[in-house]
A and B are shown apart, each in its own frame.
Chain A
Amino acid sequence: MRLPGLAKDFFKYSLIGYILEAKSLKDSFIYAKYWALIWGSVFKLVGKLLFKRGPMGIIRELRQYPWILQLLGATRLLRRITHGRKGAYLESTGMVIHSIAVTLVEKLEEVFYQPELLLISEDLVPPEIGTAMGLKVWIVEAMGLLLPLINPEADLSFIDEAENAGMNPDSCSFVKAAVGMIIKEQMPKGSAIVSSNMPCDAALASYSYIRKKYGVPIYRIDAPYHFRSERAEKLFVTDLKGMIAFLEEHTPGRMDWERLREICEARNHMMELEVGLWDMMQASPAPLASEAVWLSHLWHFYWFPGNKVGVRLFERLAALAQKNLDAKIPAVKNEKYRAVLWNPPFPHFVDIFNQVERTYGITLIMDSLSYNHHELIDTSTPETMLKGLARIIMQGPMVRHTRGPAENYLDDIFRCYKQFNLDMVWIANHVGCKGAQALNGILREKCREMKIPLLIIDYDLLDPRIVSHEGMMNQVDDFMDNVMKARRPRSMTQ
């Protein structure tokens, strides 16, 4: 890129660029606040590291984890997804990104300063247990998902590394990115690993390699296919107890049931707030949308359930939604179509929903990874807490959608469609997600019968080389033209 291009790009993503574009003092203030808060988190991380380890310490950590540099682009992410957003909706987006920055810094500090307590975990093992044991849970797959939000090409070298090592190229890039990071030795190491048979074959199989590479003990939990029964819950709880015993044997962690109770209660509170938010999201037009729904859940419920930052975030999101609802202010101006995104989101094209809300008035109301309908955890005894956690995992979206009969997946879509008064279903047809692809035929026919507009977007979760952003947008445009008969208002595209 030549100098004028670089300058233009810098200006476009800078704070000044936003202020000039926003033309609203209030929105500029909101944006500037979160811009400063995000940079504040970055400076906190660097400053503390400098203080504790000195400049050489920083260099050492950056050589070990070079991807940390990608995080410097966090405000670019903020810029990309806040384009055109105003007021409470803008604020909700800023809050989500900031909360991610704060918790990530917290996590990186654990990696730097308490490596002996690190527990390497697969993304569907309940992190509440390790945390209650005083361990620091590091989710193997998390960075693979986070980095492309900031830089769409951030995972490519990891994906290539895994494929070059012999992993089948058609397997899920979520798994390939994690394995690639491990091959490149850029993943933190821990004293033990916990993994599971969820959500898919590639994820399960990858832990044979990960265990071999780390050379530390591993415990794998096994969710049954027929998971909706007392019998299944009992089996899974027994498995969780086995995991606790394993961790007590192989790590410095010791189960603190009182701590687990606190975490579960905070998680319950987070969930109540989220359910309250969903109630408000049923209103048309919706008071908030997009990242306030999907990214908040994805980050905080999967990695930081019960963390005070997450709880505070959901309290504030609920308050913002209420504020917009009371004032009858829609999140998306001219909300025309209410959509659900089914299957994993689009990390490398995270701004797609920003683009379609401005272009077509499509508002993302819900997504499958957030769409839980389990009960609160009963915190009265250790047994009931483990049972509650077992239910959350087994009946959580990624698991119930990949287990049991097809109805678990299909009927959930129709239930969500009805519950949130939606206008269309978007299926994120991730090329590596074979289980979901194999239900598209049935889904298509059922949607036709029920007259539900269905958009199946072909893409790869983390690799934009498979389907480019332009290719993805073309699929949306074709759907809007041909199925929804929507016209693209020129003013909305600008």
Chain B
Amino acid sequence: MNMFRELLKSPQNHLVEQAVSDGRIPIGYSCSFVPEAFLMADRLVPVRLHAPGVAGTEIADIYLSNFICTYVRSLLEFAVDDRFDLIQGWVFVPSCTHMQRLYDNLEYLKKPAFNHILDVPRKVTEATIAWQAEELRTLADKLSTHFGVDMSDDSLMKAITEWNNFAEVIQSIGELRKKPFPPITGTEFQALLMAALVSPKDLILPKILDFRKEIEQRDGVGEFRSRLMVMGSHLHDPEFIRVIESQGGLVVADLFCTGSIPGFKPVEISGNPIRSLAEHSFKKTLCPRMMEDFDRRLETIIDTVKEYRVDGVVIEIIKFCDLWGVDSMPMVSALRNEGIPVLKLEREYSMGGEGQLRTRVQAFIESMDK
């Protein structure tokens, strides 16, 4: 387990370094609407952008202001400090205003040689799926021209197959959490998942398979008071989950940007890989930026609560996030109407205020009579 946590200590871990020395091309991305499989074609390596251990965002504050979410500010700070020096291309999504302005400020301050915005629509119709497919085609052509990589249908199909195999492994581990006594903690799963997102899939897969073997031998993770689901936006640091679990709330389900529900659903392959990936982008992500997705999100949460025997839901929102901040108002009441206890937590990107978090979670678990 420590191995996964080790991989999260740096924004570019040694597996990324190894990939670069093998002539591969890491592409940084920050939003789940970017299909990872797409960035696995040929020599490309998708690297989820994160800013572990960020201590301050002084420069980013000047450009982005103090009212922009700390995830975005942390990324800009790291970029300005050249801590993403191995990243050879950036792919953003205008998933929210903050991300959009991160792209603008990065372009202004660093002028990356490859910086692209994938214009993902905010609702799903036949016309917007076609739009998304065209967007992916444009990006494929741009990547192909810039890096000389093979973005043909065959190459993409191979990448999709590889990603599907990988996703199947992650899902199989995630499924273990449905058991009455899960063999894996939420903290462990989060470390594994994040490590998987920030590392080349082929290089980390053997380690994940070894870990799966290890946990399959376990009876459980010990005693816990309640089973929780965590949902919300970007959550990278497993410490956040550890603090929740330190109070006896075992995190068995994760429905956030970097979580496994429904993020690791396999790509359903139709004849056209680009079209398959376009459809997949919408299916695998549940985000309030999607204007007509509230009911689907609510249903998914309710289904997950049942499947994973969840006692209560923790909604984590990074401060200044308007999408989750505004959306949580109807979401909290909708979940409570379904009889699901909810704790809404506002937090910063980096771990802080551990004492407060512990107290809030403790009170929440007690309020559920657990």
Q: Which residues of A contact B (CB under 8 A)?
A: 165-168, 170-172, 175, 179, 195, 197, 200-202, 204-209, 211-212, 220, 222, 224-226, 231, 235, 238-239, 242, 402-403, 405-406, 431, 434-435, 437-442
Whether B326 contacts A202 by the Cβ 8 Å rule is: yes
Whether A225 contacts B326 by the Cβ 8 Å rule is: no
Q: Mark B113-139, 1 if CB is under 8 A from A, else 0.
A: 000010101110101100100100000
Q: List 28 A-B contacts (CB under 8 A).
A: A165-B329, A166-B344, A167-B326, A168-B320, A168-B328, A168-B346, A170-B325, A171-B326, A200-B322, A201-B96, A204-B122, A204-B289, A205-B323, A205-B325, A208-B288, A208-B327, A211-B294, A212-B294, A220-B291, A402-B97, A405-B104, A406-B108, A434-B67, A434-B322, A438-B63, A438-B97, A440-B63, A442-B104
Q: A172 vs B67: C-alpha distance in the bound complex, in angstroms? A: 12
- Chain B nearest CB from A222 CB (Å) reads 5
Q: A225 vs B107: C-alpha distance in the bound complex, in angstroms? A: 17
Q: Which residues of A contact B108 (CB under 8 A)?
A: 406, 442
**Given A209-B329, A222-B123, A225-B100, do A201 and B105 touch, yes or no (CB 8 Å)?**
no
- Chain B nearest CB from A61 CB (Å) reads 29
Whether B123 contacts A220 by the Cβ 8 Å rule is: yes
Q: Which residues of B contact A (CB under 8 A)?
A: 62-65, 67-68, 94, 96-98, 100-101, 103-105, 107-108, 117, 119, 121-123, 125, 127-128, 131, 134, 288-289, 291-292, 294, 317, 319-323, 325-334, 344, 346
Q: Find B94's partner among A166, A175, A208, A403 (CB 8 Å cutoff).
A: A403
Whether B104 contacts A434 by the Cβ 8 Å rule is: no
Whether A439 contacts B322 by the Cβ 8 Å rule is: no
- Chain B nearest CB from A462 CB (Å) reads 16
Q: A231 vs B119: C-alpha distance in the bound complex, in angstroms? A: 12
- Chain A nearest CB from B329 CB (Å) reads 4
Whether B65 contacts A440 by the Cβ 8 Å rule is: yes
Sorted nearest first, the 3 A-B pairs with minimum C-beta distance are: A168-B325, A441-B63, A438-B101
- Chain A nearest CB from B125 CB (Å) reads 8
Of the listed residues A208, A231, A406, the one surrounded by the most CB atoms of chain B closer than 10 A to its CB is: A208
- Beyond A222-B122, A439-B101, 17 additional pairs, beta carbon < 8 A: A166-B328, A166-B333, A168-B346, A171-B325, A172-B322, A197-B291, A201-B326, A202-B322, A204-B291, A208-B326, A208-B330, A222-B123, A235-B128, A434-B97, A437-B67, A438-B97, A441-B62
Whether A222 contacts B128 by the Cβ 8 Å rule is: yes
**Given A170-B320, A200-B97, A201-B96, do A222 and B328 touch, yes or no (CB 8 Å)?**
no
- Chain B nearest CB from A407 CB (Å) reads 9
Whether A431 contacts B67 by the Cβ 8 Å rule is: yes
Whether B68 contacts A437 by the Cβ 8 Å rule is: yes
Q: Which residues of B contact A175 (CB under 8 A)?
A: 326
Q: Find A439's partner among B67, B104, B134, B326 (CB 8 Å cutoff).
A: B104
- Chain B nearest CB from A393 CB (Å) reads 15
Q: Which residues of B contact A166 (CB under 8 A)?
A: 328-329, 332-333, 344
Q: Find B329's partner among A167, A239, A439 (CB 8 Å cutoff).
A: A167
* Chain B residue at minimum C-beta to C-beta distance from A199: B97
Q: Which residues of B contact A171 (CB under 8 A)?
A: 322, 325-326
- Chain B nearest CB from A352 CB (Å) reads 22
* Chain A residue at minimum C-beta to C-beta distance from B65: A437
Q: A242 vs B291: C-alpha distance in the bound complex, in angstroms? A: 15
Q: A212 vs B332: C-alpha distance in the bound complex, in angstroms? A: 13
Q: Which residues of A contact B331 (CB under 8 A)?
A: 208
**Given A201-B289, A231-B134, A235-B131, do A167 and B325 touch, yes or no (CB 8 Å)?**
yes
Of the listed residues A170, A434, A435, the one surrounded by the most CB atoms of chain B closer than 10 A to its CB is: A434
Q: Which residues of A contact B107 (CB under 8 A)?
A: 405-406
Q: Find B119's partner among A224, A431, A440 (CB 8 Å cutoff).
A: A224
Q: Which residues of B contact A402 (CB under 8 A)?
A: 97
Whether A441 contacts B64 by the Cβ 8 Å rule is: yes
* Chain B residue at minimum C-beta to C-beta distance from A196: B291
* Chain B residue at minimum C-beta to C-beta distance from A210: B330
- Chain B nearest CB from A259 CB (Å) reads 27
Q: A211 vs B294: C-alpha distance in the bound complex, in angstroms? A: 10
Q: Which residues of B contact A437 (CB under 8 A)?
A: 64-65, 67-68
* Chain A residue at minimum C-beta to C-beta distance from B317: A168
Q: Find A226's partner among B63, B119, B325, B328 (CB 8 Å cutoff).
A: B119
Q: A201 vs B94: C-alpha distance in the bound complex, in angstroms? A: 11
Whether A406 contacts B104 by the Cβ 8 Å rule is: yes
Of the listed residues B94, B104, B320, the one surrounded by the most CB atoms of chain A closer than 10 A to its CB is: B104
**Given A204-B291, A235-B128, do A438 and B104 touch, yes or no (CB 8 Å)?**
yes
Q: A206 vs B294: C-alpha distance in the bound complex, in angstroms? A: 11
Q: A226 vs B120: C-alpha distance in the bound complex, in angstroms? A: 10
Whether B97 contacts A201 by the Cβ 8 Å rule is: yes
- Chain B nearest CB from A464 CB (Å) reads 19
- Chain A nearest CB from B291 CB (Å) reads 4
Q: Which residues of A contact B344 (CB under 8 A)?
A: 166
- Chain B nearest CB from A200 CB (Å) reads 6
Q: Which residues of B contact A405 (CB under 8 A)?
A: 103-104, 107, 117
- Chain A nearest CB from B233 CB (Å) reads 11
* Chain B residue at minimum C-beta to C-beta distance from A234: B127
Q: A238 vs B130: C-alpha distance in the bound complex, in angstroms? A: 13
Whether B64 contacts A438 by the Cβ 8 Å rule is: yes
Q: Find B322's partner among A168, A226, A441 (CB 8 Å cutoff).
A: A168
Whether A438 contacts B326 by the Cβ 8 Å rule is: no
Q: A254 vs B367: C-alpha distance in the bound complex, in angstroms? A: 53
Q: Which residues of A contact B100 (CB under 8 A)?
A: 225, 403, 435
Q: Which residues of A contact B94 (CB under 8 A)?
A: 225, 403
Q: A175 vs B344: C-alpha distance in the bound complex, in angstroms? A: 21
Whether B326 contacts A168 by the Cβ 8 Å rule is: yes
* Chain B residue at minimum C-beta to C-beta distance from A218: B292
Whether A222 contacts B121 by the Cβ 8 Å rule is: yes
Q: Which residues of B contact A197 (CB under 8 A)?
A: 122-123, 291
- Chain B nearest CB from A221 CB (Å) reads 9
Q: Which residues of A contact B63 (CB under 8 A)?
A: 438, 440-442
Whether A208 contacts B294 by the Cβ 8 Å rule is: yes
* Chain A residue at minimum C-beta to C-beta distance from B117: A225
- Chain A nearest CB from B368 CB (Å) reads 20
- Chain A nearest CB from B259 CB (Å) reads 20
